[in-house]
Each structure stands twice: as structure tokens, then as C-alpha cells.
Amino acid sequence: MSEYPDLQLYINGSWRKTSDGLPVINPATEEEIGRVPVAQASDLDDALEAANEGFKIWSRTSPKARADLIREASALMRERQGEIAHSITLEHGKPFTEAQLEVIRGCEFFEWDAGEATRTYGRVIPSGPGVKYIVHHQPIGPVASFSPWNFPMSQPARKVAGALASGCSIILKAAEETPAGAMHIAQAFHDVGLPPGVLNLVFGIPADISEHLIPSEVVKLVAFTGSTAVGRLLTGMASNHMTPVLMELGGHAPVIVCEDTDVEAAATSSAIRKMRNAGQVCTSPTRFFVHRNIYDHFLEIFTKRAEEIPVGDGMDAATQMGPLANDRRLSTMTSLVADAQEAGATLMTGGNRIGDKGYFFEPTVLANVPNDARVMQEEPFGPLAIVNPVSSLDHAIERANSVPYGLAAYGFTNRADYADRMVDMIEAGNLSINTLEASLPETPFGGVKSSGYGREGGAEGLQCYTVVKNVSHSVGIV
């Protein structure tokens, strides 16, 4: 297995080093494993120029040829699955098997969007003799994309897949904390011969990069995945230039557990799913609203299953939950737990850092959390579950909708009328009933309310990357 990659910028088809860099830390050991380059204004100007030129080539490349090249790059990434997963575990901390699955998921995003490239159908509007009205969906232009650190490969994959499948060029600023996944993506596209300038990868000081790229006339779409606060900031900047945005932002997913459900199965799968990626997932199931009649039983099983999850270095085969990805998350978790306890919540298990080396945190379950505790409104983005009792489905729905977020939501029930009510009443872009899977490459993913705008994946996934052009064509001059 290869070592951690030599981190570089990728601009106009070439790798580029900068003089100094920021440290990349292995969150399991707190050791420096690499240095990520910091793009300067001149690098960003070069990336803009390259993306502008790249767009001219790529937007005129046939959808079939684009799809073929994306599939070729994806096949390379599948071959390199072990190497990519290894660097993800080193920089992010997640278990190696989870990192391997993430690589496959990233490839599936590429493969799905490659198919969609050849299905961006327009339509023909009925017209009279000698006249045709035809609606086209054309690539919007160069995209400035920003991807986060929680899924170092599949998050940038979503962004690159959408842009490239649509015929757009892209400047991707991937997360500085976890740069290797995006590096591998750029390497795969380089190796299959993507024309220079179509994909550009930069790292650096996030605010400097967004403030340089977003106001540029070259950039025709801003795509971001990350916190609602930063999403709001970037949307504000983009709106000053009438540049549209694709925003996949925070969530605080509710889970409604109805009294008719299989309590043991629901509690077991919920506890395991909650701790996946150490809870650092925007769709992570977090606020459990459980019917009173089954509350104690659910809480007992959920707590026991959470306690049983082995926490450790992601390179250790026994590990099911790695460390938190950075020390910011550690302090956030500690303060959210303390605040909830002060507000009157019961700490069922966890709540503490594990050891003093690495950012390990215990799987944590809070019960009977009052509505005014911070964690009821703030996304914990960590291995923390809130389990509260409710008296009815209406009560649960009211609680579920009581936050500004609306990304993913879940329900456990066998009753058709309960499921039907959830479908109608829950405010979320994604609702999953009797499953904790929130999104697949073939399903549209995105939020409502403060969770964002636009969709990735599914048949809707390329809409933000295209613009509609209506062509009216008369045979004779009228």
C-alpha cells in the first residue's frame, strides 16, 4: 500500500506545488502526515483562466464522449480503491472498511451522472408549419465548488461528477483537512486524458479562495457542501453577482419511532447508523422521538448497542468508529453535552473524550433532553443521539419540524396511515421509512429550509448545472 500522497494543486492539467503549506493531521494519532498547498491569488487566476478555456472544449464535447471518459476515470478509482481508502483513513480517521465503501460510493456517483449526461433531454413544443420551438438544456459554465471533510472522496466526487457530466468545467476547493480523496480524483481524470482546464483542484485559506473565485465573471455556478453558516455567506456573495448556487448544508435529522414498530430492530439499526462516520454526516439520525409506550425499551437497547461499538484507530480491523475528524468537533461535543446536562437531560452513556491522544469521543446518548438545550437546535455533527419520548405521531411531527433544518428525516412504522402522514407533514428533502439510508446515486438529494437549495443525484442532479435555452426556428423570415 502506498504512503500518503504528495499534496499539490492541479491547475490546467498540471500538478503544482506551493512553497509552504498547512499541516494535515491524522486524527487518530495527532501526527502530521502531509502538508496541503496554499493557493495564492496568481494560482487562482490561473485556475479561472484554465476553467474558462476548459469549458470551451468540454461543453462542445459530446455527452457520450464525456460519459465514456467519466466511466474510465471511475474504473481507475475502483482499481485504486485500497490506496484511496488508505489515505482517507489516515487523514480522516474513519475505519478502513468504511473508507473502502466510500470510494465505491464516489464511483457510483460518477457512473450515475455519466449516464445522466446522455439523458439531459430537452423537449419540442408543438408549433405550426415551418416553425419549431425546441427547449435545450445547456451546460451553465465554469463552476466554483467547495467540498467538506466528512467524506474526503465521495463529497468531491458528487461535485466533480455533476459538473463534468453536464459539460461544465470546475474549480474544486476541497477540504484542507482531508485533501487526498480529491487528489486521487484529479489524478484519475489526469490519467485518462481529461483535457487541461476542465478540472482544477485548489486548496488554501477557504475565505481567500471563495472571495477570489465567486466574484469572478468566469464563475457561473457556486456549489457548496458544508455548514449552513458558510453556505449563507457564499450565497450572499454569489447573489451580488447574480450567480446561482447549489447548496447542500447542515441537517439535524429527526427519527420518529411509532409504537407499532419492531423496537429491537429499530433501536439496533439506529444506534449503529448513528455512529457511522462518528456521526459526522449531514443526514445522521440524531433527534429520536419515540412513542411513550415503547420509550424505555427503545432507550435501553439503543444505549446498550451504542456502548458496544468499538472505538479506535481506523486502521485497526476491529474498529467500528474512528476518532472525530478534527479537534473543533471534540470541543463542540463536550460543550453540547455539558449544556444539555445543565438543562436537565440525562446522560445515558458516553459524553467524554477517550484518552488524551487522538480526537476520540465516546458514543453518546442523551435522554429526556429539554427543548431549550442547545443540542435540540444545533447540529452536533458527532456521535451523539438525543432520545426523547413523545405522546403521539402529531407530537413527534411537531418536534421534528421545530428546527430550521430540513435535510433528512426518518420514520419507523408499519402503519400505512402513519407513513402517509409523515410523507405529507415532515419538512425535509429526504424522508426514509423503515430504513436509515437517506440517499443513493439514483435518488435526488438536498434540503429544504436552512438545509440548502438544489439537488444532487437522481434525474434532478444535473439541473443546477444546466441552463434552459428555448430555440424558435422559422423556415422563412416572419
SS (H, E, C) 334-375: HHHHHHHHHHCCEEEECCCECCCCCCCECCEEEECCCCCCHH
Strands 466-474 and 131-139: antiparallel
**Shortest gap between Cβ of 12 and ligand NAD (angstroms)?**
22
Which helix (H) or strand (E) segment holds residue 57: the answer is: helix 41-58
**Alpha carbons 450 and 471: distance in angstroms, whole number:** 36
Q: Which is nearer to ligand NAD, 78 or 374 (CB)?
A: 374
Q: Any idea which residues carry the catalytic annotation?
A: 248, 282
**Shortest gap between Cβ of 396 and ligand NAD (angstroms)?**
23
Q: Which is nearer to ligand NAD, 196 or 244 (CB)?
A: 244
**Shortest gap between Cβ of 225 and ligand NAD (angstroms)?**
5
Q: Is 249 in the site for ligand NAD (CB under 6 A)?
A: yes
Which helix (H) or strand (E) segment holds residue 237: the answer is: helix 228-239
Within positions 308 to 327, which residues make up the interface with ligand NAD, using CB under 6 A? none
Q: Is 458 in the site for ligand NAD (CB under 6 A)?
A: no
SS (H, E, C) 199-222: EEEECCCHHHHHHHHCCCCCCCEE
Strands 466-474 and 285-291: unpaired
Left (φ > 0), alpha (ψ -120 to 50) or beta: where does 193 sit?
left
The window from 142-150, 156-164, 307-315, 344-352 that contacts ligand NAD (CB under 6 A) reads: 142-150
Q: Which is nearer to ligand NAD, 139 or 226 (CB)?
A: 226
Q: Which is nearer to ligand NAD, 114 or 249 (CB)?
A: 249
Which of 13, 34, 148, 461 is the binder for ligand NAD (CB under 6 A)? 148
Q: Which is nearer to ligand NAD, 183 or 390 (CB)?
A: 183
Q: Which is nearer to ligand NAD, 120 or 439 (CB)?
A: 439
Q: Which is nearer to ligand NAD, 294 or 431 (CB)?
A: 431
> What cell was used for 74?
471511475
Residue 65 has φ and ψ, to the nearest 5°, of -65, -40
**Alpha carbons 369 and 289: distance in angstroms, whole number:** 11
Q: Is 282 in the site for ligand NAD (CB under 6 A)?
A: yes
Which of 109, 146, 410, 445 is the binder for ligand NAD (CB under 6 A)? 146
The window from 163-171, 182-190, 244-252, 315-323 that contacts ligand NAD (CB under 6 A) reads: 244-252
Q: Is 379 in the site for ligand NAD (CB under 6 A)?
A: yes
**Angle CA 251–257–258, to nearest 5:** 140
Q: Is 381 in the site for ligand NAD (CB under 6 A)?
A: yes
Radius of gyration over every alpha carbon of the chain, rounded to an integer in angstroms = 23
**Alpha carbons 352 and 125: distance in angstroms, whole number:** 62
Q: How many residues bind ligand NAD (CB under 6 A)?
A: 21
**Shortest gap between Cβ of 209 and ligand NAD (angstroms)?**
6
**Shortest gap between Cβ of 226 and ligand NAD (angstroms)?**
3
Q: Is 328 in the site for ligand NAD (CB under 6 A)?
A: yes
Which of 141, 162, 250, 461 is the binder for ligand NAD (CB under 6 A)? 250
**Angle CA 176–180–184, to nearest 5:** 135
Within positions 178 to 237, which residues make up the interface with ligand NAD, using CB under 6 A? 206-207, 210, 225-227, 229-230, 233
Q: Which is nearer to ligand NAD, 185 or 290 (CB)?
A: 185
Which of 24, 73, 171, 175 is the binder for ligand NAD (CB under 6 A)? 175
Query: Cell 451580488, residue?
Result: 240
**Shortest gap between Cβ of 264 and ligand NAD (angstroms)?**
30
Q: Is 429 in the site for ligand NAD (CB under 6 A)?
A: no
Q: Measure Cα distances from 297 to 254, 271, 388 in Å.
A: 19, 14, 12
b or e along 23-46 (b: 16 or more beta carbons within 10 Å of the residue's beta carbon)?
A: ebbbbbeeeebbbbbbbbeebbbb
455, 471, 466, 439: which is closest to 117 by C-alpha? 466
**Shortest gap between Cβ of 443 and ligand NAD (angstroms)?**
16
Q: Is 149 in the site for ligand NAD (CB under 6 A)?
A: yes
Q: How many CA atoms lie within 13 A of 3 on its CB side?
A: 4
> What cell was used for 350?
458516553
Within positions 337 to 366, which residues make up the interface with ligand NAD, using CB under 6 A? none
Q: Which residues bind ligand NAD (CB under 6 A)?
A: 146, 148-150, 175, 206-207, 210, 225-227, 229-230, 233, 248-250, 282, 328, 379, 381
